[in-house]
Structure 1
């Protein structure tokens, strides 16, 4: 259930117990029941797909060896995920805080309960895909529980194998890296690597850069104990089965639960209590030293499962340097631990989009050319005929109407905030440019105005000159006409006789002559 109700009406936050790439984890008390729970506060800015996937898978899982999910709230643009509180912390916390490794009996206890959890997951057609000590949490009474389902996957009836490359490099099965298709058996391989981690403190190749480790895992023989003489034949046989390179020959959780090494683990979870108590005492001492003003020693690293599904009393006192600086790696990793100073590998969860195998030649991952961050899982591969679906859609489909509304409201708020932030950012950048632009635009307009005035003045001057010329021409023409008229008149005066015409003067005489003739 995802609720928009104020979580502080149901929960009393006691203290922060972890911090990681996905947010913070707090120890809290449920007000009505008084039960102690863990609350993971995740900002919406985090990878929403992984968070929704984790919620979706956790709410479907009901098993004593899987961390229990209670509820999810939305508050202040954060998701508050309420889950079971495991007071012992993660197994990797114990190894690091106590600076020790587990004995065979303790390894058997962890393996048995991890296998029980995996058996349940595999029966409901889910793959964990990130089994490691950091994702195995311990209760106060020494029981082991699987946590961190952010990269888990679903296998449908029509999809026998998946091809998405995802997990943590050092624990990654060869078939995952080679992208030949994989199923539930990859969790068994990761369990085998986890056994070596519990026995020796670190997984194989941990002193190698994650990129190189990804090259070496498929090409090298299956790893084994550095000092095999220290371990029993049954454990070595169990490890060899888990790390069988051919997934078809690798046994599943059901078969391994019948192995002699696991059968002798009855009730051995009690053997972990001493380590849990020792870890708590050390952390309490460090916390007390810190509160008393002492320098304090860096506490155990908080894996992402510890900072996401983390449910113990441990609290990270200081940041520390990376085990192996893989920040320049081209693979996209989620840091699964606050790193320490011993120079070991960074155990971030890797999510790789595409990896290919070139014919029959030595394996070479294709992601070497993929230098980009925030690579997202692509479950909807080209193998559409196998019935794969985008997990993000199926995960959201599992949510109820009210839960979807809460997510939409949160994302809308987030979107508006991000839009405003981007707008403010670009307004700040544009402002000085805009001022200069306005100044130059004003100058250009002034130039245009002056140019227009100049052209208008020239036009008027030209027009005035033309008019003046016309007037002058008209006057000149008039003078010419007048002069011509005067000449004509003058000429006319000159051509007139001084006396009357003879015809006129003799007109009477001519008439008399004519009469006499008649």
Structure 2
């Protein structure tokens, strides 16, 4: 029965590898509705290394690491395989099909798929990330300070990912803080493409409402909408969230509308910051494209990657203090 359930994913699965022989010392780092995510060490085994199927760049990185005697870690997401199949597997196939052959520095891609016969689950290999943007928002509530140039750096990374998707007529439609992950080099990457849709430039209108209310463009709730316009609204919502330590409309005082709620202490922020937020909340027909916003004065005034790496260390230190 197992082979029948995963048959739609057959072309993506590396059947030559027992993942338990190649990935060891799994430690759970996150748990969600669709399964658990683990950090895992890559176990160097010459015979397996020859057999394993990976994208060329990832394979080259693995081989170089093994040659240098490095201890390498990846993320493994496990998804239970049920007799009846599941929507999760259908969405995974959709994601793999949409993103096939596409790579971008700000998009978290799937490296490989395996079937674990021990627990009847699918193992999905990805880059091991440090934390989500949502984790950082939580620490904002505990006193973590985010400078405007740090928020600009995050905004730039998100817009780079969206510009790439838009060039391929892809709309993510679920851009929010817990779908954005930082790696150890301070690079922010967009993940979770389960609601992504491919449209055409001539016909970008879709009707299905997706996404989470706080980050959802208002036109998504109103009926058919231009899918290629909604992600920019979500970027504005994330910028608002990073500045205020909570997403817009989360206080229940302001019902979701077509403009942002008033910022707390708006005078703290530059005119470029306010202009960027305004542009993101423009009505869909006049809302800028990601490539236009990448030239915005707020976005171009970013901090360097070393600042983000230091921020990651600060987050880890704060969490240790809280847990003591």
For this structure pair, what is the TM-score category when the shorter chain's length is used for normalisation?
0.7 to 0.9
1:20/1:166 Cα in 2 relative to 1: closer, same or farther (>3 Å)?
same
Matched, 1:42 2:79: yes
Please point out which of 173, 177, 181 is paired with 1:133: 177
Match of 2:297 in 1: 260
1:101, distance to aligned residue in structure 2 (A)? 5.0
String of CA shifts for 1:197-238, please: whole Å, max 9, x gaps: 1001111111339xxx8xx434x5443423211100001001
Match of 1:14 in 2: 26
Structure with a larger share of its residues in helix: 1
Match of 2:5 in 1: none
Query: What CA distance in whole angstroms lies between the structure 1 residues aligned with 2:185 and 2:110?
Result: 19
1:78/1:115 Cα in 2 relative to 1: closer, same or farther (>3 Å)?
same
1:238/1:221 Cα in 2 relative to 1: closer, same or farther (>3 Å)?
closer
String of CA shifts for 1:355-393, please: whole Å, max 9, x gaps: xxxxxxxxxxxxxxxxxxxxxxxxxxxxxxxxxxxxxxx
Match of 2:265 in 1: 227
Please point out which of 193, 197, 200 is paired with 2:241: 197
User: Aligned runs of 1:327-366 on 2, under 5 Å?
Assistant: none
Matched, 1:170 2:209: no
1:179, distance to aligned residue in structure 2 (A)? 1.3
2:94 aligned counterpart, secondary structure: helix
Structure with a larger share of its residues in strand: 2
1:83, distance to aligned residue in structure 2 (A)? 0.5
The answer on whether the counterparts of 1:196 and 1:224 sit within 8 Å (CA) in structure 2 is no
Matched, 1:249 2:286: yes
The answer on whether the counterparts of 1:12 and 1:28 sit within 8 Å (CA) in structure 2 is yes
Which structure would you say has the larger RCO, counting Cα contacts within 8 Å and 6 or more residues apart? 1
State which structure, 1 or 2, has the greater radius of gyration over its C-alpha atoms.
1
User: Aligned runs of 1:303-322 on 2, under 5 Å?
Assistant: none
String of CA shifts for 1:240-285, please: whole Å, max 9, x gaps: 00111x11100000110111111222x5333222321022224455
Query: What CA distance in whole angstroms lies between the structure 2 residues aligned with 1:37 and 1:191?
Result: 28
Query: What CA distance in whole angstroms lies between the structure 2 residues aligned with 1:106 and 1:62?
Result: 25
The answer on whether the counterparts of 1:241 and 1:250 sit within 8 Å (CA) in structure 2 is yes
Match of 2:59 in 1: none
Query: What CA distance in whole angstroms lies between the structure 1 residues aligned with 2:165 and 2:314?
Result: 32
Aligned residues: 279
Match of 1:116 in 2: 160
CA RMSD of aligned residues (A): 2.2
Gaps of 5+ in 2: 1-11, 45-61, 63-70
Query: What CA distance in whole angstroms lies between the structure 2 residues aligned with 1:7 and 1:279?
Result: 32
1:166 aligned counterpart, secondary structure: coil
> What TM-score results when the alignment is normalised by the length of structure 2?
0.79
> What TM-score results when the alignment is normalised by the length of structure 1?
0.51
Matched, 1:79 2:122: yes
